[in-house]
Amino acid sequence: MPLTQSWIASANDADHPFPLNNLPCGVFSTDELEPRCGVAIGDMILDMARAEETGLVDLVEDPLFDLPYWNDLMEQGPAVWAALRARLTTLLAADSPERAKIEPMLVPAAEATLHMPFVVSEYTDFYAGRHHATNVGTMFRGAENALPPNWLHLPIGYNGRASSVCVSGTDIRRPWGQLKSPDHSAPAFLPSRRFDLELELGAVVGTASEGPVTVDEADAMIFGYVLLNDWSARDIQAWEYQPLGPFQAKATATSISPWIVTRAALDPFRTAPPPREVELLAHLRDTGPMLYDIDLDISLAPAGKPATTIARTNYREMYYSSAQQLAHHTTSGCPMNPGDLLGSGTVSGPERHNRGSLLELSWGGKEPLTLDTGETRTFLEDGDTLTLHGQANGDGYRIGFGTCTGTLLPALPDPYAR
């Protein structure tokens, strides 16, 4: 599928993240406008509240867009999602007869502040990248026990905290916690010294489930995807994770990109899963290409200095798709709701420069990275800014995710010293 031409010139640039083929969903405000739903098109944002108010977008009886979240639209289900995409494509296409009506509803993205695009009802994070699980398992338990015995049979996950999810641009505070790092013989309560990132994709569940769903049904429930950084305190994690998995190590913050890229926009980039070493049970079996060819990278900028790209990978490296994760999540009867966020797990590839965390890139801190500035890093230092990028590359266009960024602030003084 080629680029769909728009009357908005910037959207026709082959390198722009937001062409007409994309139409990602976000929430924005300006000096004049309260936070509301918007759709990115080139360098502009279409004010969906106004498009609805004037009747140019008229999907259902209730208003869906004069709200600071996309949950109400998501609840309407795939037929309404498709109708919205078709209507916006018509309004913004090069030959649109309604250009003059739409033009005053466009806000320059440079003048807008972006907010959380949806209310996160619950947050689950998975561990579904085989290279990542092998690397981390080797460091934590040795090469013989790297992959847990269940890993090739089901997507392992843990219930995270919806309250910890924040939008790109939010500063992250280095946490304190109980840790037992290699340089400490006894547990101690200290600021984390091994604070890290995890490069992930987040799937945004759009519709509710009651009872178990199939992989195909799960795929149809997914509204779209965001970039996700699962900030992780490795020294807290290493001490606390057995037997119930990560807890405080992952509870400080999880950053997401401000634009939800819809499943429809990513459809041309579907790829098959990797060969299965162990056949999956019927309810998790592959039914089609449910991964996506999405280039991902991580850049790290020390305070006041230029950024270095420290890793490049691709979402097709995952072992389990978000649809398989979502299907697995429902097997117990666990109800899923609009606004549920599922972290993919760290997206690492086979080579060293494909690794999606500093834990892997520096091999547990033993092999420091050298940045373009000449500085070295094992884990994050105060003032470091981490930025994730993602894009699917089409024929003369790209489907961009924008960026997911955050700056690490120093730990506060001992919170219990009072």
| Residue ranges binding Mn ion (CB under 5 A) | 125, 198, 230
Nearer to Mn ion, 156 or 300 (CB): 156
Report the residue number, 36 or 234, with the smaller CB distance to Mn ion. 234
- In angstroms, the CA 95 to CA 103 distance is 14
Query: Cα dihedral sign for 74, 318, 143, 299?
Result: negative
Output the residue with the shortest Cβ distance to Mn ion: 230
Shortest spacing between CB 139 and Mn ion, in angstroms: 15
355 neighbors 313 (Cβ within 8 angstroms): yes
125 or 196: whose CB is closer to Mn ion? 125
Helix (H, G, I), strand (E, B), or coil: what is residue 15?
Answer: coil
Q: Give residues with Cβ within 8 angstroms of 308, minimum separation 6.
A: 299, 300, 301, 371, 372, 373
* Residue with smaller CB distance to Mn ion, 47 or 235: 235
Number of residues that this document lists for the chain: 418
- The distance of closest approach from Cβ of residue 125 to Mn ion in the complex, given in angstroms and rounded to an integer, is 4
Between 12 and 362, CB nearer to Mn ion: 362
In whole angstroms, how close is the CB of 213 to Mn ion at the nearest point?
A: 23
C-beta separation of 199 from 125 below 8 A? no
Which one, 76 or 346, has the nearer CB to Mn ion?
346
CB of 149 to Mn ion, least distance (A): 21
Q: Look up residue 152 and give its two tokens.
A: 């090739």
Measuring CA to CA, which residue among 388, 356, 375 is closest to residue 167? Answer: 388
* Whether 373 contacts 302, CB under 8 Å: yes
User: CB-based contacts of 240: which residues, under 8 Å, 6+ apart?
Assistant: 178, 246, 247, 248, 249
Cα–Cα distances (Å) from 364 to 21, 175, 195, 360, 379, in that order, read 41, 19, 11, 6, 9
Q: How far is the CB of 135 from Mn ion (least distance, A)?
A: 13
Let me know if 321 is exposed, middle or buried by CB neighbors in 10 A (0-12, 13-18, 19+). buried
Catalytic residues: 132
| Minimum distance from residue 146 beta carbon to Mn ion (Å) | 17
